[in-house]
Amino acid sequence: MTQFLIRRTFWAAFLFVAASIITYVLFFVIPSCPACLAAGKAATPEIVARINHSLHLDLPIYQQYWLFVWNLIRHGSFGYSYVTGTPVRTLLSTEIPVTASVVFGGVILYLAIAIPTGVISALRPRSIMDRLGMVFVLFGISAPSVWVGLMLLYLVGFRLGWTPINDYCSPIPTHQLGNCGGLWPWASHLILPWITLAVGSAALYTRLIRANVMETMSEDYVRTARAKGASPTRVLIQHVLRNSMLQVVTILGMDLGLLLGGVLFIEIVFGLPGLGAEILQANGRFDLPVIVGITMFLCLSVIVFNFLVDILYAWLDPRIRLT
Amino acid sequence: MALLEVQDLHTRFRTDDGIVQAVSGVSFELDRGQTLGVVGESGSGKSVTFLSVMGLHDKRQAEMTGSVRFDNQEILGLSTNQLRHIRGKRIGMIFQDPMTSLNPVKKIGWQLEEAVLIHNDVPRSEARRRAIEVLEEVEIPKAETRVDDYAHQFSGGMRQRVMIAMALINQPEILIADEPTTALDVTTQAQILRLMEKLQEDHGMAIVMITHDLGVVAELADDVVVMYGGRIVESSKVDDLFVKPEMPYTWGLLGSLPRVDVDVERLEQIPGQPPSLLRPPRGCAFNPRCAYTFDRCREELPELRPAEGKNDHYFRCHLDEGDRARIWAEKQAAMAPAGAESAA
């Protein structure tokens, strides 16, 4: 276990360095002029040069990279946005909760749909439930999430007026003017994004769980359990479920990491100030510190989720040892 | 009254290609404490027969008719919930592949305890005590620590011992062993067979030994049933079958059995493939592979009939008594011990 942790930490550090270098190199390969954007339309070359100097953009790339690493290690700082001057850390700390709310809420929702649907359709193949499940799966896979989001927004949010149509609320109650907070406002702002995220993924996971449960049901040890006199419920809960969740856990781990950076469409459709919306904006403005900061965070979350998956995997399947 | 009486059992499977007639009119009896050997090659219907007895087929695909009476009670067609009280409690079953027949994510002890707890209202500590006891009985060293190991920490032979322990933990009246030694190496096979013999002496349960290995049958069984193409083609006392088998398929099986006392260049083999149960051949199912086929074999299914002068030896074959006696005598001469020939 200790050896596993040491190796994992080493890999995490390596991935971090690699990801940040790649982000830096890519940024400088693309012809860009962040200073021109920061200086405005009527900027003279002198102003641009001055801004370039103050942002250290006139330094060679390796020195800029070193400056970034030094600030990160020495001050725990990702630097400041070229455009707004806001510390990247502040941006991250306000945007991560938004994106995390969308992702985790959505994931919980789609698992809550996919696990029962998948298991039921596996136990009763070709039944009405199974066929309805498959229709739902087909719909979910075929419908792009942007379209689903817009339709929900128009029908539920605008025509029916049941939910707010944009923005984000903190789950922590606040008394500040102009800020909303509290569990219910938070959930009501996020319910449509959650559904949008869940539709496509629930479909995929239903299929995955259905296939895995069906495969596990045909395993020899399931027959052994039935020959022992175990009831169908006992067979399902004690012998089938845990064994059929291995692959689901792997894919879930990868998905969580990817979704944190990948719910960009949903954030934009629902006007949520999350990481995805921010990185899109930062890309357009050549805002290197913001891009690097968010990339680093996404990199970290992929590493963390993979780590959690490995731990969970070893717990689910005793044949796997963490060495 | 026999403990288990199977009458005219038919098992069909609905598949995408059509109806598979896996078992056709199988009848046999099993007494308390008796050992029945069931022999046949893959696809002969021997496993399917006993999975039908246990009701372990998927009800959506399998269709069973006939009668299975266990301890004077009809059990064919009982619901899963009714059968549950017989499975694992009064009839135990072990399977061919011990590598895959144990749950990989649960401790051995847990799986043994489960078998106890399903059928008995006892605390877990008592179930655990019984689990350790039965592991000792199947001769697993350091049972009290191995009980907390997982299946992958055991060798194949040890896993089969665990399977036997699990099947025996509730003291069943019948143990159905579906090719229990096929996946094991030869020395381990012998150990497992000896263990089963010993356990039978201690507990007096009846054993059904499903196998394709006549050597196993010779060693353990009292009676033997030979299956081919979903039907019983010969049944008799085990000694009688080895002394005077009555039909060509059994001759082939005996000819393909390696013997240390006979010096043969190569073992006889039965040519061809087992019959398709989706489209079985007309007449006798063995006729496409039989060396003695004549017109009647291709037209008419031979009935199960008694061997001459015996009431416990039945077989299916159209050849008449004279031909069968002559052919078997020739076969025996060919298989005679090498030493005997040189001495003469």
Q: How far apart are CA B311 and CA B288, in angstroms?
A: 29
Q: Could you read off the pLDDT of B255-283 as tens digits, one per residue? A: 877 776 666 667 778 888 888 888 888 99
Q: How far apart are CA A235 and CA A232, in angstroms?
A: 5
- The reply to whether A93 and A69 lie within a common domain is no
In this prediction, residues B322-337 reach a mean pLDDT of 84
Domain boundary among A75, A99, A119: A75
Q: How far apart are CA B17 and CA B304, in angstroms?
A: 30
Q: What tokens appear for A12 in the block?
A: 């995490």
Tokens 């033997």 sit on residue: B224
**B57 contacts chain A (CB < 8 A):** no
B236 forms beta bridges with B224
First to last CA, chain A: 6
- CB of A165 within 8 A of CB of A102? no
Contacts of B106 in chain A (CB under 8 A): 238-239
Inside any domain, residue A190: yes
Domain boundary among A22, A40, A75: A75
CA-wise closest residue to A166 among A105, A109, A98: A98
Per-residue pLDDT band for B170 (boundaries 50, 70, 90) equals: very high
In this prediction, residues B100-127 reach a mean pLDDT of 94
- The reply to whether A198 and A303 lie within a common domain is yes
Domain boundary among A75, A101, A128: A75
- With an 8 Å Cβ cutoff, are B101 and A223 in contact? yes
Per-residue pLDDT band for B338 (boundaries 50, 70, 90) equals: low
What DSSP character marks residue B150?
B
Which residue numbers in chain A have pLDDT < 70? 175-179, 322-323
Q: Which residue range is the domain that position A71 belongs to?
A: 2-75
**A247 contacts chain B (CB < 8 A):** no
**B120 contacts chain A (CB < 8 A):** no
Crossing angle (nearest 10°) for helices A183-217 and A246-262: 150
Domains held by chain A: number = 2
Predicted TM-score of the model (pTM): 0.82
Inside any domain, residue A48: yes
- With an 8 Å Cβ cutoff, are B81 and A318 in contact? no
Q: Could you read off the pLDDT of B35-47 as tens digits, one per residue? A: 999 999 888 999 9
Q: Are strands B304-306 and B62-70 parallel, antiparallel or unpaired?
A: unpaired
- The reply to whether A56 and A94 lie within a common domain is no
What DSSP character marks residue B314?
E
- CB of B99 within 8 A of CB of B159? yes
Q: How far apart are CA A268 and CA A133, in angstroms?
A: 30
- The reply to whether A110 and A258 lie within a common domain is yes
Q: How far apart are CA B98 and CA B181, in angstroms?
A: 9
- The reply to whether A94 and A66 lie within a common domain is no
Helix (H, G, I), strand (E, B) or coil at A114: helix
**A232 contacts chain B (CB < 8 A):** yes
- Is a pLDDT exceeding 90 seen at residue B200? yes
**B112 contacts chain A (CB < 8 A):** no
Across the interface, of B88, B92, B97, the residue whose CB is closest to A220 is B97
Contacts of A130 in chain B (CB under 8 A): none
In this prediction, residues B74-85 reach a mean pLDDT of 90
For B169, the closest chain A residue by CA position comes to: A228
CA-wise closest residue to B168 among B98, B91, B258, B264: B91
Q: Residue B39 — φ and ψ, nearest 5°?
A: -115, 145
Domain edges within chain B: 99-169, 247-343
B27-39 CB burial, b ≥16 within 10 A, e <16: bbebeeebbbbbb
- The reply to whether A13 and A93 lie within a common domain is no
- Is a pLDDT exceeding 90 seen at residue B112? yes
CA-wise closest residue to A221 among B133, B150, B174, B226: B150
CB atoms within 10 A of CB A134: 17
- With an 8 Å Cβ cutoff, are B106 and A220 in contact? no
pLDDT of residue B21: 93
Q: Give the lowest-confidence range in A28-32, A59-63, B67-71, B88-92.
A: A28-32
Q: What tokens appear for A259 in the block?
A: 């979704």
- Is a pLDDT exceeding 80 seen at residue B240? yes
Contacts of B54 in chain A (CB under 8 A): 227
Helix (H, G, I), strand (E, B) or coil at B206: strand
What DSSP character marks residue B303?
P
Inside any domain, residue A82: no
- CB of B36 within 8 A of CB of B13? no
ipTM above 0.90, yes or no: no
Per-residue pLDDT band for B342 (boundaries 50, 70, 90) equals: very low
Q: What tokens appear for B6 in the block?
A: 């199977």
**A7 contacts chain B (CB < 8 A):** no
